Amino acid sequence: MPFTHHSHSGQFCPGHAKNSLEEVIETAIAKKMQLFCLTEHMPRHEQDFYPEEIEGGDTEAGLVANEAAFFAEASRLRDKYADRIRILIGFEIDWIRPESLALIQASLARLPFEFFVGSVHHVHTVPIDYDREMYLKAREIAGGTDERLFEDYFDNQLDMLQKLRPLVVGHLDLIRLKSDDPERSFTLWPGVWQKICRNVDYIVQYGGLVELNSAALRKGMSEPYPKAEICKVRKEILARGGRFCLSDDSHGVDQVGLNFHRVVDFLDTVGIKTLHHLQLADATSQSAVIDSRFPRTEICSTSVEELRKMAFFTASA
């Protein structure tokens, strides 16, 4: 089905998103999407605030209050639109430093979230996808080359995976966004490629979903996250028995479902025949609990062939 497991709104992520949460959901409905996951960012320590948060006078307490307000509004909107779209309420993590674990656990303890997206946006505590200047700062700390920074990124990602086992792994190869050559093959750096394969093995081992994130396309890259070489049949994720889900990583109404047609064409080139998605179990569900932290959340699948026949694609063809 047309779905996304990763989204943001200007209402609760005002620094780099736009539009209200309700406007985002109404857009998803208008585009015939059937499942929409809400995943605003988790609270962070003040030392990890972005420039616009510092300039806006945000505080840690303010981010915690924002999280609570997000959950309340998401719950209200889920009830309001229950007959038109299915909604899951989660959040996107920021794995920055060892203390990140306590912050994530605090979010899970405060509110009954139904999943979270496991993402890494920092290396050596420096954002690597915010702008080129910060990327270069992180690269210098790592040793001065993209190769060294990539290795540190995937080590940081493994630490996150081992500590948290997220149901959805966000933009697995985000590190390439601000690099010297975002299209460069990872296989040209054997140490980097080994770490990618190691991380993929771990995701498959615990049963996580790797998101196919269309945001890379709107940011000028030729392939979604992760690149085809990570996905291809007889290579990494598929060969290891891994599973994929679909995300737009939207930051406003103009990005809801954006480039999903291109991602579906990409599925054919890499040999992906089935996509998976999360949903909430109803009272009659016989599915086993996949994660004790989220007792109502289950994983389902649909074929790419059936996906192409659904209203999101046929209505906008």
CB-side neighbour CA atoms (13 Å) of 9 = 24
Confidence of residue 234 (pLDDT cuts 50, 70, 90): very low
pLDDT at residue 56, as a whole number: 83
Q: Which amino acid makes up residue 263?
A: V
Q: What is the mean pLDDT of the chain?
A: 93
Helices (H), the chain: 21-30, 51-55, 60-80, 100-110, 132-142, 146-164, 190-206, 215-218, 228-231, 260-270, 304-308, 311-315
CATH 3.20.20.140 holds for 3-315: yes
212: left (phi over 0), alpha (psi -120 to 50) or beta: beta
Among the listed ranges 46-50, 130-134, 138-142, 144-148, which one has the minimum average pLDDT value? Answer: 46-50
More confident residue, 176 or 310: 176
Q: Where are the domains of the chain?
A: 3-315
- pLDDT, tens digit, 9 for 90 and up, residues 156-202: 999 999 999 999 999 999 999 999 999 999 999 999 999 999 999 99
Say yes or no to pLDDT of 304 above 60. Answer: yes
